[in-house]
Amino acid sequence: MFTRNQNTARFFRRLTSQPVSALMIALIIIGATASGLGKLVKDTSVKAFIPLGHPSLVADDKAREIFGLTDSVAVALVTPDGQTVFEPQTLDLIATLSDQIAALPNIHSDRVASIATESSIRGEDGAVLVDSYVVPGMNRTDAADSLERWQHMPPHQGTLVSNDAKSAIIIAELVNSDTADQTYQSVLEIVNSTSPTALEFHVAGPGAVSGFLSSYIDQDARKLQPLVFVLVLGFIYFAFRKLSALPGPLFVIIGAAGGALGIMSWSGVPYYAITNALPVIVVAISVADAIHILSTYYRYQAREPSEPVREVVIASMTNMARPITLTTLTTIAGFVGIGAVSIMPPITAFAWFAALGVLLAWFFSIFALPNLLVLIKPGPSPAFTSWADNRPSGVGKFLAHIGAYSATRYKTVLSAFLALAVVVAIGAMQLRIDRSQVDNFAADEPIRVADTFINDNFAGSAFLDVLIDTG
């Protein structure tokens, strides 16, 4: 289509003959694709990164089916001033919290474990004595007796109560991990509604981390994506210094990013943690085409100010269609390569829908943007006044100086880049793989602090399940 300038010009002349109809078709396409955004479903679990059919995922599904094993939420209590948790008020609070958490609709009521739900086992005079650690109406003598019995129960040391007896934990299994975010918030409400106490609380666990990550993504998206839009539009305005330069790129951005995410939703692909970067990537790539087209438009307009707007648009598109198409194809090829090679579903989905976003950006840049320019009729840009006199701008002069320096000092430039490449290679060798979900959060985020505390003082809140099948 864009192999010869004459044919290309003829194509865009026909394309811009009915600008209103063309834009209406583009708006219908955007509406149809972006309408799927309301159906987006998040999946922030670690298991989402495991390909379907992988032995570990099959074993996990089997364990879940047979034993009902699910993710858990953990609540840790820390006593002040070196006291132990074996105080009547503290033990009573642990029992109360255990009951309240067990009563939540998404918690297995029979799978809540704490010092208040367990018992000590000991032998005495040939008999086996099983005594609960916590009973109603305990006094200090009873609490001291529970402490003594706990000290003779190694399975409950470092699991239900920390080895120094200064903190205790409540672990509750979820019924449905898909609603972990609501359950996490409910547990926080229970903890926060506790009567004023000197105790310190930490809430973590795989279910809590997965649930909070879901809301964390929402918060991040609400801040990041509008900020990207503002920065991009601000840069476009700074580059062209015309408000009339904004609608075209904005149209392309909405069509590309909204269309890619909408089609992803219509396809039933979940919104993974990594998907949060997809709109940003698509916006950054898609706006480049619009900037190239607008730059060419304003340059031609500065040179031929009396030329009709439609003719300037046709000339601009004729000049830019081929390079935009080629760069689009190479970008798509890069994402397709990632999608074809990766075995992790979130990475694969990210790559394929990023490629789709780039394709949509090309489509709206080629078919919608020229028609929008014909309707808006942007006037000359102050940033391109130098083109009217056929003289370089300040930026052009600066870049020309850099080019001249590089050409005359090519040995110095190449040596500097070689040294930089060595430094970069050394830095790349220091990269480490970190698959921990909790490390997605800021170091001072309460859930990350809680996770660190629980892992340091207890046996952790995530468990390795080994399934033994006798055949």
pLDDT tens readout for residues 447-465: 888 888 888 888 776 777 7
Burial of residue 343 (CB within 10 Å: 0-12, 13-18, 19+) is exposed
169-202 pLDDT, tens per residue? 999 988 887 777 888 889 989 988 886 677 889 8
- 436: confidence class by pLDDT, cuts 50, 70, 90: low
Provide the pLDDT for residue 230: 86
Average pLDDT over residues 388-415: 78
Question: Over the stretch 86-96, which tens digit does the pLDDT of each residue have?
Answer: 999 999 999 99
Which residue, among 283, 188, 181, has the nearest Cα to 227 in the 3D structure? 283
Q: Which of 274, 61, 71 is nearest to 180 (CA)?
A: 71
Residue 2's pLDDT band, with cuts at 50, 70 and 90, is very low
pLDDT in tens, 132-147: 999 988 999 999 999 9
25 is written with which tokens?
């078709």
Q: How far apart are the first and last CA of the chain?
A: 63
Task: List, in sequence order, the alpha helices (H) in 151-258.
Answer: 180-192, 206-240, 247-253
Concatenating the DSSP letter of every residue in 393-421 gives -HHHHHHHHHHHHHHHTHHHHHHHHHHHH
- pLDDT over 70 at 389, yes or no: no
What does the block give as tokens for 61?
Answer: 């599904």
Q: Identity (one letter) of the amino acid at 319?
A: N
| Strands of the sheet with 72-78, listed across from one edge | 107-113, 167-174, 72-78, 200-204
Q: What is the pLDDT of residue 466?
A: 79
Alpha helices in 241-308 (DSSP H): 247-253, 259-266, 278-303
Q: What is the mean pLDDT of residues 255-273?
A: 90
**In this structure, are strands 200-204 and 107-113 parallel, antiparallel, or unpaired?**
unpaired
Find where tokens 């239900």 sit: 160
pLDDT in tens, 9-30: 889 999 999 999 999 999 999 9
User: CA dist 297 to 130, 349, 351, Å?
Assistant: 85, 36, 32
* Per-residue pLDDT band at 391 (split at 50, 70, 90): low
Over range 117-138, report the average pLDDT.
87
Q: Is residue 229 over pLDDT 90?
A: no
Return the pLDDT at 326: 93
Average pLDDT, the chain: 86
Residue 41 pLDDT grade (very low, low, confident, very high; cuts 50, 70, 90): confident
Q: What is the pLDDT of residue 4?
A: 47
Range among 208-222, 323-337, 393-407 rated most confident: 323-337
Burial of 432 (0-12, 13-18, 19+ CB in 10 A): exposed
How would residue 166 be classed by pLDDT, with cut points 50, 70 and 90? very high
Phi first, then psi, for residue 130 (nearest 5°) are: -115, 110
- 446 to each of 100, 209, 428, how far by Cα in Å? 22, 11, 31
Q: Beta 72-78 vs 127-132: how paired, if at all?
A: unpaired
pLDDT at 1: 37
Output the DSSP codes for 18-75.
SHHHHHHHHHHHHHHHHGGGGG--B---GGGGSPTT-HHHHHHHHHHHHH----EEEE
The two three-digit tokens of residue 321, written as one number: 């269609």
Give the tens place of pLDDT for each residue, 42-91. Answer: 777 777 777 887 887 787 777 777 777 778 888 999 988 778 999 999 99
Residue 469 has pLDDT above 90, yes or no: no
Which of the two residues, 37 and 465, has the higher pLDDT score?
37
Q: How far apart are CA 218 and CA 269, in angstroms?
A: 17
Q: What whole-number distance in Å separates Cα of residue 160 and Cα of residue 49?
A: 31
With b for 16 or more beta-carbon neighbours within 10 A and e for fewer, the 161-193 pattern comes to bbeebbbbbbbbbbbebbbbbbbbebbbebbee
**pLDDT of res. 20:** 93
CA dist 138 → 143, 149, 342, 424, 465 (Å): 7, 15, 58, 64, 36
pLDDT band at residue 156 under the 50/70/90 scheme: very high
Task: Locate all alpha helices (DSSP H) within 75-179, ordered by sequence.
Answer: 88-102, 140-150
Q: How confident is the model at residue 392 (pLDDT cuts 50, 70, 90)?
A: low
Bigger pLDDT: 125 vs 76 = 76
* Confidence band of 302 (pLDDT split at 50, 70, 90): confident
Q: Mean per-residue pLDDT for 326-348?
A: 92
What is the per-residue pLDDT for 444?
Answer: 81
Burial class (CB in 10 A: 0-12, 13-18, 19+), 423: exposed
Say what percent of the chain tops pLDDT 90: 38
* 170 neighbors 113 (Cβ within 8 angstroms): yes
Q: Does the pLDDT of residue 3 top 50, yes or no? A: no
d(CA 36, CA 383): 39
Lowest average pLDDT, out of 1-15, 26-40, 290-304, goes to 1-15
The whole-angstrom separation of Cα 101 and Cα 73 is: 10
Tokens of 311: 């003719």
**Predicted local confidence at residue 193, as pLDDT:** 86
How confident is the model over 265-273, as a mean pLDDT? 88
Integer CA distances (angstroms), 207 to 113, 203, 388, in order: 15, 10, 63
What average pLDDT does the segment 98-104 reach?
93
